[in-house]
Structure 1
Amino acid sequence: MTQFPGAVPSPAMAPVVQETYGPADLGATPLFGGGFINFGHWHGIDLDRLPTEDDRIRSQQALYRHVLAALAPTEGLRAVEVGCGLGTGCAVALGEYGFAQVTGMDIHPQQLDRARRAQAGLLAGPAERLRFVQGAAESMPFGDAEFDRLYSVEAAQHFRDLDAFARETARVLRPGGRAAVTSFFVPDADPARPAQLAALLDTFATGLDVAHSIPELTAGLERSGLTDIRVVSIGAAVWPGWDRWLSTMWQPGTWPRNFLRAYREGLLDYFTITAARPAACAGP
């Protein structure tokens, strides 16, 4: 039977993450909206015209729905969101997918304070149906087999150790539990990719985003004993819409517009990755 190791010591928060999600309060900028912080899933949104703020919020909701639907069935189950930000995705999970309990975990205490204020109505509901906990993806403050489902939406690009995240995912999932992760990753194992992305995109140059690759993540999930690992590119539904939204604030040739260029040049893509913890071994 596969063994799932215990938690490792929590890593320190990178200073650039501390600043971006603390004093800088990225989620309050016009790039985002509706309490979400993600690039969005733009399928079905008309990109022949400039997107509105309502379009932007709808795209971010759609990304959560895309991930949560990949975890079905969800009714009556316990879930944890790794990198929950302002907790708006937790509210979607509870309100639309029938989870019995959702735990939002984030490494940043200021984000958790904002989440508790933003989701005060849900927190005042049935005891423990929603809770927020501080913790790192590489060292989750939970017991073994505590959750039926684990999901993470556009947070993995900030994780410092994908192997540790994979081990922790396997550890906190119950046998038969499932995980879904979506974010932007390097599609191949070419060692030149980090430098290429740093030359194009300030978030990689500063270390806010880490140039993790899909082979790196899937290898970590396999080593952790997770199975049924599936990787699906959703870049066509993300990058053109994200660039169209950026065009309302940034001129061509400015660094944020290079996300679409990086996608077109094969340096970066957006993926959904799902995996499962094997069911418990049957007795003799």
Structure 2
Amino acid sequence: MTQCPGATPYPISPAVQEAYGPTDLSSMSLFGGGFINFGYWQDIDLGRPLTEDDRISSQQAMYRHVLAALAPVEGPRVLEVGSGLGVGCAVALEEYGFAHVTGMDIHPQQLKRAEQTNADLLARRPEQLRFAHGAAESMPFAEGEFDCLYSVEAAQHFRDLDAFAQEAARVLRPGGRAVIASFFVPDADLAGPERLAELLDTYSTGLDVAHTIPQLTGSLERAGLTGVRATAIGASVWPGWDRWLARMWEPGTWPRNFLRAYREGTLDYFTVTAQRPMP
């Protein structure tokens, strides 16, 4: 685990500290497989009983969807912001041919878990994979250090989208591409945050922040990134996620309200792409 000298510390919110601390979301059977995301279920048959293999396949598919969106930019060095257990970094390294992958996370315990989870890969390819301690709003890297940057289901935890966007633009080389996938309020309707807090405990406790898509795309544009585009992929996320939740949660319980929020138009899942322009 590395930390660049001079990097500015950034506080972890209490809710994030608790969720990814000793109890650790990834230890729950809900997130079996080590990928902490809701899954991309497009190619999975939801009309039959779901298995653990289906769940893991959906999580891997989310990473593949995001990593494929990095094209057409090619380059050897890629950064994952909010890398968790680092299993997505392994997919990026082993399936997409990057010469070097850095996984960055704000939570020290997650970084220790990432190093343990990927011990074999780190031993086999020590010059190609590393894990670094840093926040999305204060990244411990040099300007232009990366060819590509991606983040999977972490942006809902970011406290300052403007700071994240500025840092993303800074650490990307000219021509470098960023892809962010997570769930957001689709528009700037001020009723959205209040409604999400009513429906979902993760918003009422402050673990998730009700960022809107206009806030994120605006932050990226103000940071100087171009070609900013948000694509809704909720139809490939929410029905499958709800079918998986149905194994453990009854209708009317708060985790099942993700699908309800989507159907109400209060919440959706997006892939957002942007690029640092050439000089």
Same fold (TM over 0.5): yes
Report the Cα offset of residue 121 of structure 1: 1.2
Root mean square deviation, CA, Å: 1.2
Report the Cα offset of residue 122 of structure 1: 1.4
Counterpart in the other structure of 2:114:
115
Give, in whole Å, the separation in 1 of the partners of 2:95 and 2:238: 26
Counterpart in the other structure of 1:67:
66
* Contact 2:75–2:147 under 8 Å retained in 1: no
**1:121-136 paired onto structure 2 within 5 Å:** 121-136=120-135
Letter in 2 for 1:105: M
Counterpart in the other structure of 1:245:
244
Give, in whole Å, the separation in 2 of the partners of 1:125 and 1:212: 39
Report the Cα offset of residue 53 of structure 1: 0.3
What TM-score, normalized by structure 2, do the two folds share?
0.96
1:160 aligns with 2:159: yes
Instruction: Compare 176-185 and 28-37 and name the one that shifted more.
Output: 28-37
* Contact 1:194–1:211 under 8 Å retained in 2: yes
Give, in whole Å, the separation in 1 of the partners of 2:251 and 2:48: 17
Report the Cα offset of residue 114 of structure 1: 0.4
Give structure 2 stretches of 5+ with no counterpart: 1-5
Give structure 1 stretches of 5+ with no counterpart: 1-6
Report the Cα offset of residue 77 of structure 1: 1.4
* Contact 1:83–1:105 under 8 Å retained in 2: yes
Counterpart in the other structure of 1:267:
266
Q: Secondary structure at the match of 2:208?
A: coil
Give, in whole Å, the separation in 1 of the partners of 2:131 and 2:195: 37
Give, in whole Å, the separation in 1 of the partners of 2:58 and 2:100: 25
Report the Cα offset of residue 76 of structure 1: 5.0
Counterpart in the other structure of 1:195:
194
The one-character-per-residue Cα deviations of 1:128-186 (angstroms, maximum 9, x if unpaired) are: 30000000000000000000000000000000000000000000000000000000000
- Structure 1 73/119 Cα, relative in aligned 2: closer, same or farther at 3 Å? farther
The one-character-per-residue Cα deviations of 1:192-247 (angstroms, maximum 9, x if unpaired) are: 11111000000000000000000000110010000011110000000000000000
Letter in 2 for 1:30: S
Counterpart in the other structure of 1:79:
78
Give, in whole Å, the separation in 2 of the partners of 1:95 and 1:78: 13
Give, in whole Å, the separation in 2 of the partners of 1:8 and 1:54: 40
The one-character-per-residue Cα deviations of 1:92-124 (angstroms, maximum 9, x if unpaired) are: 000110000000000000000000000011111
Counterpart in the other structure of 2:175:
176
Give, in whole Å, the separation in 1 of the partners of 2:270 and 2:179: 10
What TM-score, normalized by structure 1, do the two folds share?
0.94
* Contact 2:142–2:171 under 8 Å retained in 1: yes
Counterpart in the other structure of 1:92:
91
1:137 aligns with 2:129: no
Could you tell me the percent identity over the aligned residues?
72
